[in-house]
Structure 1
């Protein structure tokens, strides 16, 4: 009976050990399978990233032909990168120096305190020659900005050659018919504006001239409108003939 019990115990122990060994073997097999699957996924991910990098670099080379011409041997030598051609370098330098020169010229124009126009604008208007102020007022009211700038630069160059040259002399010499109307000569217009300037206590008449000039698309028509407006606003300054009193104009 004891032998029978021992056989039963041994038999049951073997039966219990076999499932344990089977379970351990199953776990190891599953771990190896999972590890190989993860390694395979990592390899596939790396392969996808490599393909994406190659496609991206290919698109860059297609978009920038100068890099595509270098070839892979230049990249292996360590010279692959953003290399500019000599023509592009020359163009970049030219644009840089041109922009710097234009900026410097603009700063000089702004900071030039000895400019005749800057000096004239800093002096009180009642201390300036009436004819010069009249020409300046007509220029601001009738001419576009580009034309004003061109005349300003031309006058500054001429004043450097002749420091005593006034603005009215400049217009009389170079632009004797610029402010001429259909019915009025330029001298009459300047005399009328100068007479109104001498009679006015402030510069409100400048606004009157600007409103009378309008858009100034037709300068000659705008000049006639200015004369008509001045005759209505300052009737006591005009004689029976409709002409302004030239004797009241002082320089």
Structure 2
């Protein structure tokens, strides 16, 4: 290749256009201790007796799945995380994303953002919003709703995930999250609480062959601050 630096620049511009309206500029290396290294093997779950029945069902399901189906369900399929389906015998799983409701399809509702919903301070309205979201997910054949989002701390006003959460107050986040989950699951859809605390990075949050992603690792002082707030 005659101009590797030019090709790399073009690729970076392309990646920037798919991730953000801002220019993707070179950044400093990831600080030591802030790289999320893989952990193998994954620790076994099922140590809580209250979950024994659920783990039994999970083992029965996974034992029927092919490797490709396991990968699809755990990692998703496609760039925009469309419907993820696993079919084995009588088993069909549908997982869909969308903080405002069902994503990547048509004839659905754009519900009020989480930050707007939290600003109502109205448990009944928050529950009804969750129930309506669950109804649409069920209608689209999805068994799992990838939400609600309660992770953002709101440290940056322009943070990419601020609007997905219900606010920066941990009590508000918790109560609104519970009401949303109740509403969704009362419609027969499983809610999947997200995101990891600290997962607010927009640029560099996705790994690609040319750029290492940031992790959600938090330093000691940040962890102590969060524990103090939550207590």
What is the TM-score of this pair, normalised by structure 2? Answer: 0.20
What is the TM-score of this pair, normalised by structure 1? Answer: 0.19
Question: Higher relative contact order at CA 8 Å, sep ≥6: structure 1 or structure 2?
Answer: 2
Q: Which has the larger radius of gyration?
A: 1
Structure with greater helix share of residues: 1
